Amino acid sequence: MKKRFTIIGGGIAGLTAAIALRQRGIDPLIFEAAPELKPVGAGIGLGANAIRALALLGIEKGIVAKGQFLDGLSFRTEKDSLLTHADTARVSRAFGQDNFVIHRADLHEQLLSHLDPSRIFTGKMLHSLTIADATNPRRPISSPGVTGNIPGPGESSHAFQSPIHLTFHDGSQHETDYLIAADGIHSAVRRAILPDVQPRYAGYTCWRCVVPEGTAIAREVEEILGRAGRFGIIPLPGKRVYWFACINAPAQDARMKVMTTAELSKIFAGYPERVQALLKASEGLPLIWGDIADLPTTHRFHHGPIVLIGDAAHATTPNMGQGACQAIEDAVILAAELSRNTDPQDAFRAFDNRRQERTRMIIRRSRALGNMAQLQNPVLIGLRNAVFRCTPTAVFRRQLKILYSVDLS
């Protein structure tokens, strides 16, 4: 009998995984919580590793046509003095691809164009799942509120067994043999099987916006680091500019939620004029706000017939611009393992083994980079700036090489 695969979540991980699986002869159903798949989000940078993964799927051309390649990354102080500049293109081209930026809405649209809409169900927010426990088949495990053996930190103590029964918030149900959880950092699937694994707030909160016309350095990502916080500027095709602003704040602070661009202008007063100009140009435009968090690195991604991918498995802070890139790598590697292994559970296990070390490394480094970028103590800021200025560019290049050299076979 044909094995049934289901993906929960129609974000970058879920959609790319569905494309990759289809190419390997598996046609999963996707269940997405949002009532419709409409264009959302701000900009998103994709490293050369992600572009290479998309090229392996043969879908990079349409995506590339909607975004633009980037040549470099610079860090500056709030007084506009250069801390360091990385010629990212030089490294990425050695891997056959460049770094790239695109509006998220365009990326989603492109991914969707490679999928059969009749396989995607919107308005389907997963509520709970029930699955047999192979060590105690007569007692199925249900979420929320897992009963029986309480899993230890980051580990499920159950030997899960197909089929999996899914219940959605609208009351509808679905049964599947294999479940790919691509439902983001607050994954309902992960909460069900690994209730102890909780997102960790990074200590800073972030606003993002795309202005239709703004000033940015051509083909460069720019990050301005100051005591008040960090301001990033990234050019999109045409005259559009994507910016983000991060400041230190308590978690889920109600004042942050209602922050306006005028208030951000006050916070970033004294930053270069182009920061103020972008904030002014953003008045009346939608601001996307969210606290920055990641996941601990102690848990497995494979649990019997369930596998976690993307942010559901290994959400990272965005400081290295690698969260979505890792989700795209996941999709390609998962599909490769599914075609290599006849038993999907062996494929999930192999996927887990291949993805642990790399995603842990990115989570750790990205958190450290964020901590450095968000410093407020003037002495520590001075030290950081000195380190940035003194670090040879060869060190940045080495870091980038590690990032871009990934085995996607």
Ligand X SMILES: Cc1cc2nc3c(=O)[nH]c(=O)nc-3n(C[C@H](O)[C@H](O)[C@H](O)COP(=O)(O)OP(=O)(O)OC[C@H]3O[C@@H](n4cnc5c(N)ncnc54)[C@H](O)[C@@H]3O)c2cc1C
Judged by CB, which is closer to ligand X: 208, or 355? 208
- Rounded to a whole number of angstroms, the CA Rg of the chain reads 22
Q: Which of 9, 203, 214, 272 binds ligand X (CB under 6 A)?
A: 9
Phi and psi at 179, nearest 5°, equal -125, 125
Cα–Cα distance between 263 and 71 in angstroms, integer? 32
Q: Which of 166, 327, 332, 334 binds ligand X (CB under 6 A)?
A: 327
- Among 184, 216, 204, 242, CA closest to 46: 242
Judged by CB, which is closer to ligand X: 347, or 403? 403
Judged by CB, which is closer to ligand X: 307, or 327? 327
Q: Does 48 bind ligand X (CB under 6 A)?
A: no
Judged by CB, which is closer to ligand X: 17, or 275? 17
Q: Does 8 bind ligand X (CB under 6 A)?
A: yes
Min dist. Cβ of residue 342 to ligand X (A): 27
Torsion of CA 39, 43, 45, 46, to 10 degrees: 10
- Three-state SS for 83? strand
Cα–Cα distance between 28 and 350 in angstroms, integer? 20
Q: State the number of binding residues for ligand X (CB under 6 A).
A: 34
Span from 81-89, 182-190, 255-263, 335-343 in contact with ligand X (CB under 6 A): 182-190
Contact 95, 131 (CB under 8 A): no
Min dist. Cβ of residue 213 to ligand X (A): 21
Q: Which of 183, 222, 223, 337 binds ligand X (CB under 6 A)?
A: 183
Residues 296-315 that bind ligand X (CB under 6 A): 310-312
Span from 30-38, 350-358, 372-380, 387-395 in contact with ligand X (CB under 6 A): 30-38
Residues 198-217 that bind ligand X (CB under 6 A): 206, 208
Q: Does 151 bind ligand X (CB under 6 A)?
A: no
Pairing assessment for the beta strands 160-168 and 306-308 based on DSSP bridges: unpaired
Residues 6+ apart with CB under 8 A from 150: 157
∠ Cα 330 188 361 (to 5°): 35
∠ Cα 41 192 169 (to 5°): 60
Q: Which of 26, 33, 48, 247 binds ligand X (CB under 6 A)?
A: 33
Query: What are the beta bridge partners of residue 72?
Result: 220
Q: Does 325 bind ligand X (CB under 6 A)?
A: yes
Q: Which helix (H) or strand (E) holds 160?
A: strand 160-168
Q: Does 12 bind ligand X (CB under 6 A)?
A: yes
Residue 234 DSSP one-character state: E
Contact 205, 291 (CB under 8 A): yes
Judged by CB, which is closer to ligand X: 141, or 245? 245
Q: Which of 184, 226, 235, 370 binds ligand X (CB under 6 A)?
A: 184
Q: Does 54 bind ligand X (CB under 6 A)?
A: no
Min dist. Cβ of residue 136 to ligand X (A): 26
Residues that bind ligand X (CB under 6 A): 8-14, 31-34, 44-45, 124-126, 182-184, 188, 206, 208, 244, 290, 310-312, 318, 321-325, 327
